């Protein structure tokens, strides 16, 4: 199952609160990508954060993975996970 992952630094969080966590955060994200849970990550241009595609058996699995990120554990990164399903709107093209 695929999921959209939205993350942003909690408003009011100072750079000196984030900086010490960045290496561990990158390492954990890499581990999750190597395990096949994170499929892609992209930096956001609207806020300080990332958007990613996740893949897992269910919401519980991907939630557990995201909660293992050091910045989430430290409370400086707020996240949202949205379950996705295949788009079937193209079927309209073939209705007679």
What's the pLDDT tens digit per position in 30-56?
999 999 999 999 999 999 999 999 999
Order of strands, edge to edge, in the sheet holding 77-83?
38-43, 49-55, 2-9, 77-83
Q: Judge whether 14 lies within some domain.
A: yes
66 Cβ contact partners less than 8 Å away, ≥ 6 residues apart: 5, 7, 54, 72, 79, 81
Contact between residue 81 and residue 66 where contact means Cβ atoms under 8 Å apart = yes
Residue 94 covered by a domain: no
Instruction: Judge whether 51 lies within some domain.
Output: yes
pLDDT at position 96, please?
A: 80
Domain count, the chain: 1
Answer yes or no: are the C-beta atoms of 84 and 2 closer than 8 Å.
Answer: yes
Q: Which domain does 37 fall in, by range?
A: 2-86
- CATH code for the domain in which residue 45 is found: 3.30.70.1060
Q: Which two tokens stand for residue 52?
A: 């990613």
Segment-wise mean pLDDT, segments of 10 residues, the chain, 96 residues: 97 95 97 97 96 97 97 97 94 87
Is residue 91 in some structural domain?
Answer: no
> Which pLDDT score is estimated for 7?
98
The answer as to whether 93 is a domain residue is: no
Count of CB atoms within 10 A of residue 56's CB?
Answer: 20
Q: Name the strand (E) or helix (H) holding 8.
A: strand 2-9
**Domain contains 44:** yes
Query: Is 96 a domain residue?
Result: no
């Amino acid at each position: 199952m695929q999921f959209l992952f939205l993350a942003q630094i909690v408003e009011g969080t100072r750079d000196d609160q984030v900086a010490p966590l960045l290496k561990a955060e990158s390492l954990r994200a890499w581990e999750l990508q190597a395990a096949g849970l994170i499929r892609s990550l992209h930096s956001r241009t609207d806020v300080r954060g990332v958007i990613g595609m996740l893949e897992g058996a269910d919401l519980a699995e991907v939630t557990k993975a995201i909660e293992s990120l050091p910045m989430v554990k430290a409370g400086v990164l707020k996240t949202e996970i949205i379950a996705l399903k295949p788009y079937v709107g193209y079927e309209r093209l073939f209705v007679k």
